[in-house]
Structure 1
Amino acid sequence: MPAEPLDPKRSTLLSVMFADIAGSTRLYETLGDASASRIVETCIEHMDGATRLNGGTTVQVVGDETLSTFPDPELGLQAAVEMMRRVTSEAAAGQPLALRIGLHHGPLLMRENLGVGGPSRVFGSTVNTAARIVALAKARQILISAETLTLLPSHWRDSARHLDAFSLKGKREETAICEILWERREHTTLLRALPTPRPARLQLHYRQRCHVVDERTKYLTLGREPGNDIVIEDRRVSRRHARIEHRRGKFVLVDTSTNGSFVTVEGYGEIALRLEEFVLHGRGHIRLGRVDDGSADATLSFEVL
């Protein structure tokens, strides 16, 4: 039976985490297939348990590695720390186990698994980036993209150290990476801080007018009410439907509406938001409220420069 084609409309915003058992090859060589296999299975059970405990889904298990998704990066990090602690406890009991973990947040394309009751499969740049981040990690190390770190509460940002920026395969620009310090280390060397990001600007076009969000214009409000920066007279648009905020060089769309906002980023499918946030990047369109009649009255185009 042929695989179901990717549906660009089935795109969503999730955190993707790869967790890999470090040194498993040596484990098999040292203990033999049967004993090593039992240890790896126990470790996978811990990884899946920590994922489910924190609201995540184990999408795929390949050998000694799991791919899981979470509604937001904080839940993903909570699961990562829980995994590390569980596996570290096994190691303390005499099992030679250690994990390495990589996490990245962004839009995903999804396809239903053809197996009965199986989870959805996920695809896209976010998955590829998370896979490349975990490849940089060492044993007992949790790595996260600096872009994702900016979405986290302050206590997580305070527990991170900035590593260098790395060239990841398939990425035109270097990706800044951070390590989450989940355990106390006496000799932790802080590397040079990330370079100050260049000033960024977002252009928002609506009805032949261009609106700009940058360091001087911190935010724009969108809605049906006359007091908004951009007034959209459409019955499906809430009085104060959404706003776009400038945060540390990023542009965040914050939906506060009843009917939701729908973002299409060039190269990805449509992402539905309802009382959620999304970091705008590249170029694309924002539709306020579900527009079923093909009307463009509630559609804006954007570009991050």
Structure 2
Amino acid sequence: MTAPHTEKLAILFADISGSTALYDKLGNEPARRLVAGCLATMVKEMAVHRGTLIKTIGDEILCTFPNPAAALEAACAMQNAIEKERPGGEQPMYIRVGFHYGEVICEDGDVYGDTVNIAARVASITRARQIMTTRAAANELPDDLRNRTRQVMRAEFRGKQEASDVFLVSWERDDTMSTRIGLPRFRKPSDARNELMLRYHGQTTALNEQHRSAVLGRGEACDLVINSSFASRQHARIELSFNKFIIVDHSANGTYIRFSDGQVIPLSHEQIVLHKSGSISLGEPFSDNPAELVEFIVQ
């Protein structure tokens, strides 16, 4: 473990727009392959521009850069690579990128603090095929890169009393209208509930902005206590992370997710985004017809 320290960095979030619809349309395995290919393209361009990958969160990457210029160049390279390489083949794939610059807390390979939260918020209001950033980042850009940004809105960020200026980055040579306006159908509706409901026998629990995580297992301290000898004491954790519900397996026997389309995803010390609805089996494959199932639905 490394001692926490403070450093000034550019924090960048990039995610695949419309991935939930992609899973619904293609099914889990084909969609996972396309998402993995798209993420690989993004990570490749990040590395070329001196980026450091902090984590992958479902269909999103969080990375750091030494300065906003490197972040902007990486973001533009990501957009151009997705456009040129077409990792989805005939299936259109679009990404959105948001970044911010400021002091962050670095500890054990992760980053924390207000700068990270603002970068995540900027990414969340960005549309498909867009790159957005903040005044703090734009002010640090050299003139040639600063000229590729323009202020497009003022946004309110949680914990901030005043609205902040948000800048759009031009990444296409001709700055087409699609870049200026974006693709609204791939932006999450502002009034979406973003809630996950879990049900196990007589127990129910909800994950949302107020209650962001739940532990599943046979230990009495778990949020959902599962009466199965196949379940570990603290078997799996579900958490709301940057607007996605992530389930992470911590068990000895694995966790099995069956989505509403019938496809089953086994997890062994891995994580996956929960979407739509389905059921979770702790320690037992669905082929063994487990009786102790946790039902979930994302609303």
Bin of the TM-score, shorter chain as denominator length: 0.5 to 0.7
What is the Cα deviation at residue 54 of structure 1? 0.6
Q: Is the 8 A contact 2:13 2:98 kept in 1?
A: yes
Q: In the alignment, is residue 95 of structure 1 matched against residue 91 of structure 2?
A: yes
Q: Could you tell me which residue of structure 1 aligns to residue 106 of structure 2?
A: 110
1:156 aligns with one of 133, 142, 145? 145
Q: Could you tell me which residue of structure 2 aligns to residue 28 of structure 1?
A: 23
Helix, strand or coil at the partner of 1:96: coil
Q: Could you tell me which residue of structure 1 aligns to residue 285 of structure 2?
A: none
Q: What is the CA–CA distance in structure 1 between the aligned matches of 2:48 and 2:66, rounded to whole Å?
A: 13
Q: Is the 8 A contact 1:147 1:176 kept in 2?
A: no
Q: In the alignment, is residue 40 of structure 1 matched against residue 30 of structure 2?
A: no
Helix, strand or coil at the partner of 2:84: helix
Aligned letter for 2:155? F
Q: Is the 8 A contact 1:27 1:96 kept in 2?
A: no
Q: Is the 8 A contact 1:160 1:178 kept in 2?
A: yes
Q: Could you tell me which residue of structure 1 aligns to residue 263 of structure 2?
A: none
C-alpha offsets along residues 192-214 of structure 1, whole Å, 9 cap, x if unaligned? xxxxxxxxxxxxxxxxxxxxxxx
What is the Cα deviation at residue 110 of structure 1? 1.1
Q: Is the 8 A contact 1:105 1:126 kept in 2?
A: yes
Q: In the alignment, is residue 50 of structure 1 matched against residue 40 of structure 2?
A: no
- Pair member with larger Rg: 1
Q: What is the CA–CA distance in structure 2 between the aligned matches of 1:190 and 1:131, rounded to whole Å?
A: 20
Q: Could you tell me which residue of structure 1 aligns to residue 175 of structure 2?
A: 185
Aligned letter for 1:156? L
Q: Could you tell me which residue of structure 1 aligns to residue 69 of structure 2?
A: 74
Helix, strand or coil at the partner of 1:94: coil
Q: In the alignment, is residue 131 of structure 1 matched against residue 120 of structure 2?
A: yes
Q: 1:57 to 1:94 in 2, by over 3 A?
A: same
Helix, strand or coil at the partner of 1:140: coil
Q: Is the 8 A contact 2:129 2:179 kept in 1?
A: no
**Percent identical:** 34
Q: Could you tell me which residue of structure 1 aligns to residue 233 of structure 2?
A: none
RMSD: 2.1
Q: 1:188 to 1:39 in 2, by over 3 A?
A: closer
Q: Is the 8 A contact 1:14 1:70 kept in 2?
A: yes
What is the Cα deviation at residue 93 of structure 1? 4.1
What is the Cα deviation at residue 189 of structure 1? 10
